[in-house]
Structure 1
Amino acid sequence: MQALNAEDRIHCRTVWISDVHLGSVHCKAEALLQLLDRLRCERLYLVGDIVDVWAMRRRVHWPETHNQVIRKLLKLSRQQMELVYIPGNHDQNFREFAGNQFGQLRICHNAIHRTADGRRFLVTHGDELDFAVRYSRLNRVIGDVAYNVLMWVSRWINRAREIAGKPYWSLAKWVKLHVAQAEEAIRAYQHAAVILARDQGLDGIICGHLHHPAIERHDSILYCNDGDWVESCTALIEDFSGQLHLLRGVGDGDASSPLLFADIPGRVAAPAARTDHPASVGVR
């Protein structure tokens, strides 16, 4: 594992982030701002649940840092960084704008991304795969409520850990890794995602939704989940050779402290020469 210094810029070809949940008390906007301030790339995918409309129906939580995230994204688009926004289930209200483009911001239901080495990936939020874990509408509501309870408990645990000088610890992640039914649901979801990519003749799929970052190969299909910005603080990154990496924010639990970003090869941290492959994306 290699960690970047707090002042290092992150130069790469493409970045995917999802599940930011602006408008929710659980959103780690401060951590995301640290990434965006250091980011230099050609294209940034916003893979759903950027704004949490569901949470704001219950209670609006919109501090200044959430405004700063929106302003930073718009600023990046004005700097010739292409933004592709794929709304998810928590911000599905924006799906009615799919097919429209506002400056460098393009909104679509899903996309086909071609990497620098020529591979093609389906990019989608992933909520359409919920059928794989036998979700009824009632189960989705119950799951959402249970997840919010876990996040509230986790917040109180981590306040105590911060006072004790201990790093952040995710209760929700622990449940996903140690509760058999949660692990089975994740595997079923991944299997459905792989089948979806294979049926479309693609090399892989990139999604969010689960809040469970991963890069896993299933036979000839590469499954990538870019994680979230309420627990994991992760992004998926394509370097200039076309390789995919998970970039993870590593901090001490204090929102005011600078993050180190790890799990990324050093060649991505410094400016790299462009390949002969043109940056391309198919949008549907």
Structure 2
Amino acid sequence: MQALPVDGNLECQTVWLSDVHLGSVHCKAEALLAFLDRLRCERIYLVGDIIDLWAMQRRVHWPESHNRVMRKLLKLSRQGVRITYIPGNHDQTLRDFCGSRFGNIRVRRQAIHTTSAGLRLLVTHGDELDYAVRYSRLNRIVGDAGYDLLMWVNRHINEVRERAGKPYWSLAKWVKVNLSQADRAIQAYQHAAINLARSRGVDGIVCGHLHHPVVQDYDGTLYCNDGDWVESCSALIEDAAGELCLVRALAPAGNTDELLIARGPTETRPGCSTGGTETALPAATG
């Protein structure tokens, strides 16, 4: 993935963001703010775990940058950007409000995004697919604790790397790529997502949850994971040319004034240059 500096704004049709984890010490809110400041789009899907209520039960970490993210999203909605919030497992309390609005932000359990080219994409956080990797409640608790430890170690490693002038390095990503058990779990999850999309009769699925950004075509059914804002700082976009691709926000040495946007190669069918429409699904689905 090659990083290219963005001169001015990032113009696109639709943006999918998930796993921001506001309220967690791991959230990279400043990078997200820099990304949102450059963003010019028609629609934003917030695909779950935007607010980390689980983390705040243990320890509240809410600096001013987290307030600024919330204010920025509200400002964009007032300016006419259509925002749909699909709660995840870390903000699942908000699922009680599915079908409601917070200002101009709609809350939905799931939605179907239809590009103007007719490509229909199921949009869901993705925690309902945990069964595919044989998660019990105990597994989830142990997994969350292990992930928190991994991120704690990762943060301190990168503090040392930053002082040495070296770029950010993700320990969690290294584990996912290099441990066969983790790779098998990711593959099982992706196949479960594809099966869900096919069962709904749609052309593909957009989700988050795994913190593992990827766009891949499985025999004509599209799997898109938009990543996260604790490690990858990534988003999925439908760009001005109507194509779906991943973008990654990078701030060298923490300097958000030098924000770079990295575009990743994808294996997608093209969307359309005139945006898309959304269909809400019943709150009881999924």
TM bin (shorter chain): over 0.9
Amino acid at match of 1:32: L
Match of 2:116 in 1: 116
Question: Is 1:231 matched up with 2:231?
Answer: yes
Contact 1:116 1:241 in 2 (8 A): no
In the alignment, what sits opposite 1:18? 18
- 2:138 counterpart SS class: helix
Of the structure 1 ranges 3-12 and 209-218, higher mean CA displacement relative to structure 2 is found in 3-12
1:127 is matched with 127
The amino acid across from 1:108 in the alignment is: R
- 1:36-91 Cα offsets, whole Å, 9 max, x none, are 00111110000000000000000000000000000000000010000000000000
Measure how far apart 1:242 and its partner are.
Answer: 3.0
Distance apart, 1:256 and its partner CA: 4.8
In structure 1, the residue matched to 2:245 is 245
Task: Give % identity.
Answer: 63
**1:263-282 counterparts in 2 under 5 A?**
263=263, 275=273, 279-282=276-279
Partner of 2:8: 8
- The 1:255–1:20 alpha-carbon spacing in structure 2 relative to 1, beyond 3 Å, is farther
Q: Which runs of 5+ in 1 are unaligned?
A: 266-273
Contact persistence 1:116–1:240 (CA under 8 A): no
Partner Cα distance (1:278, 1:123) in 2? 16
* 1:170 alignment partner in structure 2: 170
TM-score, normalised to structure 1, is 0.93
CA 253–173 in structure 1, closer or farther in 2 if over 3 Å, else same: farther
Match of 1:74 in 2: 74
Q: CA 1:115–1:241 in 2, change beyond 3 Å: closer, same or farther?
A: farther
Q: Secondary structure at the match of 1:125?
A: coil
- Cross-structure match for 1:210: 210
Structure 2: tracts of 5 or more residues without a match: 266-271, 282-286
What is the TM-score with the length of structure 2 in the denominator? Answer: 0.92
1:15 is aligned with what amino acid?
V
Is 2:42–2:275's contact at 8 Å kept on the other side of the alignment? no
Aligned-pair CA distance for 1:115:
1.3
- Secondary structure, counterpart of 1:245 in structure 2: strand
Asked if 1 retains the 8 angstrom alpha-carbon contact of 2:13 and 2:275, the reply is: no
**In 2, Cα distance between equivalents of 1:264 and 1:177:** 17
Equivalent residue, structure 1, for 2:36: 36
**CA-atom RMSD in angstroms:** 1.6
Q: CA deviation at 1:20?
A: 0.2
Q: Map Cα deviations across residues 223-248 of structure 1 (whole Å, 9 max, x no partner).
A: 00000000000000002443100001
Measure, in 2, the Cα distance between the counterparts of 1:43 and 1:50: 16
Match of 2:268 in 1: none
Amino acid at match of 1:231: E
Q: Does 1:159 align with 2:156?
A: no
Distance 1:179 1:117, change over 3 A: same
Q: Is the Cα contact below 8 Å between 1:34 and 1:258 reproduced in 2?
A: no
C-alpha distance in structure 1 between counterparts of 2:55 and 2:229, whole Å: 15
Q: Is the 8 A contact 1:193 1:223 kept in 2?
A: yes
Distance in 1 (alpha carbons) for counterparts of 2:191 and 2:171: 25
Matching residue of 1:137: 137
> Does the CA-based 8 Å contact 1:47-1:208 persist in structure 2?
yes
Q: Distance in 1 between matches of 2:275 and 2:258?
A: 34
CA distance in 2, matches of 1:9, 1:252: 18
Instruction: Write the distance in 2 (CA, Å) between the matches of 1:141 and 1:168.
Output: 28
Instruction: Give the aligned partner of residue 269 of structure 2.
Output: none
Matched AA of 1:104? N
User: How many Å separate the matches in 1 of 2:197 and 2:256?
Assistant: 40
Q: Per-residue displacement from partner, 1:116-172 (whole Å, max 9, x unpaired)? A: 321000000000000000000000000000000000000010000000000000000
Shift of 1:250: 2.5
The answer to whether the aligner puts 1:83 opposite 2:83 as a matched pair is yes
Kept in 2: contact 1:31–1:255 (CA 8 A): no
2:145 is the alignment partner of 1:148: no
Letter in 1 for 2:201: G
State the one-letter code of the partner of 1:62. Answer: W
> What one-letter code is carried by the residue in structure 1 that aligns with 2:237?
I
Kept in 1, the 8 Å contact 2:18–2:227? The answer is yes
User: After superposition, what is the alpha-carbon deviation per residue over 1:169-209, rounded to whole angstroms, capped at 9, x for unaligned?
Assistant: 00000000001110000000000000000111110000000
